[in-house]
Amino acid sequence: MKNIVILISGGGSNMAAIVKTAKKQDWATRLNAQVAAVISNRAEATGLLWAKKQGIDSASIDHKAFDSREAFDQALMQRIDAYSPSLVVLAGFMRILTPGFVAHYAGRLINIHPSLLPAFAGLHTHQRAIDAGCKFAGATVHQVTAELDVGPILAQAVVPILEADTEANLAARVLTQEHLIYPDTIAKLLTSN
Instruction: Catalytic residue, from 63, 113, 126, 142: name it.
Output: 113
- For the question of residue 113 being annotated catalytic, the response is yes
Question: How large is the C-alpha radius of gyration of the chain?
Answer: 16
Angle between helices 46-53 and 13-24 (to 10 degrees): 20
Q: What ranges make up the beta strands (E) of the chain? A: 2-8, 33-40, 57-60, 85-90, 109-113, 136-143, 153-160
CA 186 to chain centre: 10
Backbone φ and ψ for 57, nearest 5 degrees, come out as -55, 130
Q: State the Cα–Cα distance between residues 91 and 113, nearest whole angstrom.
A: 9
- Residues classed as catalytic: 113
